[in-house]
Amino acid sequence: MRRVIFNQKGGVGKSSIACNLAAVSADQGYRTLLIDLDAQANSSHYLTGRPVDDLPTGIAEFFHLTLTSGVAAKKARPQIIETAYPNLHLITASPELADLQPKLEAKHKINRLKKLLDKLDGDYERIYIDTPPALNFYSISALIAGDRCLIPFDCDSFSRQALYGLLDEIEDIRDDHNERLEVEGIVVNQFQARAALPQQMISELLSEGLPILPVYLASSVKMRESHQACRPLIHLDPKHKLTQQFIELHDYLEAQL
């Protein structure tokens, strides 16, 4: 099962959600792979603790090889590294992705990620894909390759306006490129239970029939501590409220499969 975490708006917790769900998946015994497609490489840093300039080129090297001809392009496979956490593997991102994008677009390599994941399906039970905060070559590649899409949402009025267009764009990709793609749901993130506006906004979105998932992720300084320590919450503080919310969200999603 391949799960894409995507939103065109930055700062909505995309990488945090991808990494922490993947970490819970691995902790529960699923052989799990996280693929970082964002040139900022936040997920790669979070799961390894290594500076961006000290990371393997990972997925960028794979895409670079696809631009070549012959056997090397057909056999291209990125370096997959083991994290410090059992069952959790990682394909890192790097800043080189930004320079590669126009070349990949010019060569129409939009389906190469799907072909790679077709080869990796036998090795992993769960694949999580963290995408850049833009509808670009990499996020479209992920949506073409994925089975399900999670949309992080931070209860901001600007995020709400962008949400409608985002859902339409995902539906277009589904119709044109990937009929099996499903919007698994909208993940309410950085939720403030005591504030009236988030409650009102979620109620309105539910009344419009949008697929708001029933588990909300609270706003917490513990997430910043997790980033600072470069340790997913399940390993930093398993009993924390936010950790338990990630576990609950993961288990809810698994129950829907």
Q: What is the pLDDT of residues 148-200, one digit of tens each?
A: 999 999 988 788 888 999 999 999 999 999 999 999 999 999 999 888 889 99
DSSP 8-state class, residue 191: B
What pLDDT does residue 155 have?
Answer: 86
* In the predicted structure, residue 70 carries a pLDDT above the cut 80: no
| Closest C-alpha to 218, from 4, 13, 9 | 13
Find tokens 């939009």 and name the residue: 110
Q: Are 3 and 184 in contact (CB under 8 A)?
A: yes
What pLDDT does residue 245 have?
Answer: 98
What pLDDT does residue 74 have?
Answer: 75
What pLDDT does residue 193 have?
Answer: 87
* In the predicted structure, residue 73 carries a pLDDT above the cut 90: no
Residue 137 class from Cβ within 10 Å (0-12 exposed, 13-18 middle, 19+ buried)? buried
DSSP 8-state class, residue 95: T
* In the predicted structure, residue 18 carries a pLDDT above the cut 90: yes
Is the model's pTM score more than 0.85? Answer: yes
Contacts of 138 (CB under 8 A, 6+ apart): 37, 38, 97, 101, 131, 132
DSSP 8-state class, residue 38: -
Domain ranges of the chain: 2-256
Higher pLDDT, 51 or 159: 51
Contacts of 172 (CB under 8 A, 6+ apart): none
Q: Which CATH code fits 2-256?
A: 3.40.50.300
With bands split at pLDDT 50, 70 and 90, how would you rate the model's confidence at 31? Answer: very high
Mean pLDDT for 49-55 is 94
Task: Determine which of 6-15, 64-73, 107-116, 229-238 has the lowest per-residue pLDDT on average.
Answer: 64-73
